[in-house]
């Protein structure tokens, strides 16, 4: 497993990270056995993953607790990234929320503390000031952001130059960040931590028709607003999405690799990508996903994938919010 050094840090992270949301179950994940969750975490570590991404909002701290339970004995060998929610971005709230995250992870220092979403109601100067102070105090080793757009980043950089990462949704059928957000990250030397790399299963090839996708996985702007759990109010682009998925599968079949591995490998080949956050609800899922680290796509295959997914990228437009018609990402 290749590791990269995040800017403004003294540590390196694996190019594939373990996303620790699904292991708590609930939400749209369904029931989850704790033994499977612990096995998934330990298998990820054994296969070379040293980077684990979690958040307060993932089971109200349950995800963080599981990471400690599974990997507490190797705490000095792993990098844990967690997040605080936007309601806690005022100066004193950042400090309090950080203490809570330290307790949940049973550690005396957080490796990477991230802001889960932008909050324009709280001055970013206040939030960044708290993060810089926490870093000086040794409570956090580094800080990053999540779901920050071009303007969000530009504003944050007025008050700090130490942002180590920006966590964003990015995959073959969600390339919208390439219009404005990715170039801004590149200009600012902020690596992207990619979440939803297989688009909640769409890029595994398990669904052949929009009707097969359950409503709790059909909340994005790819799907019609007639779907029960959408919030965007748009027509969606279901036909174009599934035509694109077929093209991706054809390319994957031509090189004899599973669609999921090709999708993750494509991400790892993109400029400015630092790490790809991949989930796994049990050890077997982790083993399948980690195989993508060994797959290097040649230039011709990358070009084919880019061409196959370009029309959908254009159809979705420049709004970088995966779920809302009126973007929360500036």
> Under DSSP, is residue 284 helix (H, G, I), strand (E, B) or coil?
helix
In degrees and rounded to multiples of 5, residue 46 shows phi and psi of -65, -25
The tokens describing 112, both together, are 């990477």
Phi, psi of 268 (to 5 degrees): -65, -20
- Marked catalytic residue, from 58, 159, 170, 195: 58
Q: Give CA 81 to chain center in angstroms.
A: 11
How far, in Å, CA of 140 to CA of 15, rounded?
A: 22
The residues, ordered by sequence, that sit 6+ positions from 232 with a Cβ below 8 Å of its Cβ are: 220, 221, 225, 323, 324, 325
Contacts 24+ apart (CB under 8 A), 134-141: 134/94, 134/95, 134/98, 135/162, 138/109, 139/98, 139/99, 139/102, 139/109, 139/110, 140/98, 140/109, 140/110, 140/111, 140/112, 140/113, 141/9, 141/10, 141/11, 141/109, 141/110, 141/111, 141/112
264 secondary structure, DSSP code: H
Strand partners, 140: 110
CA distance 109 to 141: 7
CA pair distance 314, 258, nearest whole angstrom: 26
For 74, 79, 234, 270, 311, the CA distances from 11, given in Å and listed in that order, are: 15, 8, 42, 22, 39
Active site residue 58: yes
Handedness of CA 305, 182, 28, 30 (dihedral sign): positive
Catalytic residues: 58
């Amino acid at each position: 497993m290749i590791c990269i050094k995040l800017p403004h840090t003294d540590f390196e992270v694996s190019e594939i990270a373990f996303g620790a949301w699904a292991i708590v179950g609930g939400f749209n994940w369904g029931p989850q056995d704790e033994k499977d969750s612990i096995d998934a975490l330990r298998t990820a570590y054994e296969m070379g993953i040293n980077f684990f991404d979690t958040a307060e909002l993932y089971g109200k701290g349950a995800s963080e607790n599981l990471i400690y339970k599974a990997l507490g004995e190797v705490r000095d060998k792993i990098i844990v990234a967690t997040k605080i929610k936007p309601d806690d971005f005022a100066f004193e709230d950042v400090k309090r929320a950080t203490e809570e995250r330290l307790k949940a992870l049973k550690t005396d220092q957080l490796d990477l503390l991230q802001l889960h979403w932008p909050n324009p109601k709280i001055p970013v100067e206040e939030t960044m000031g708290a993060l810089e102070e926490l870093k000086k105090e040794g409570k956090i080793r580094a800080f990053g952001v999540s779901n920050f757009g071009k303007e969000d980043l530009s504003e944050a950089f007025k008050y700090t130059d130490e942002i180590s990462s920006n966590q964003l949704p990015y995959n073959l059928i969600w390339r919208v960040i390439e219009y404005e957000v990715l170039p801004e990250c590149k200009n600012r030397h902020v690596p992207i931590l990619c979440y939803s790399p297989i688009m909640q299963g769409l890029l595994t090839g398990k669904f052949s028709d929009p009707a097969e996708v359950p409503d709790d996985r059909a909340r994005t702007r790819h799907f019609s607003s007639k779907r029960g759990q959408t919030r965007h109010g748009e027509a969606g682009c279901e036909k174009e999405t599934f035509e694109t998925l077929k093209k991706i599968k054809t390319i994957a079949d031509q090189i004899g690799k599973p669609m999921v591995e090709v999708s993750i490998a494509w991400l790892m080949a993109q400029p400015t990508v630092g790490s790809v956050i991949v989930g796994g609800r049990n050890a077997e899922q982790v083993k399948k996903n980690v195989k993508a680290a060994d797959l290097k796509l040649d230039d011709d295959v990358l070009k084919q994938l880019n061409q196959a997914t370009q029309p959908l990228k254009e159809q979705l437009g420049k709004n970088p919010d995966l779920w809302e018609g009126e973007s929360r990402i500036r």
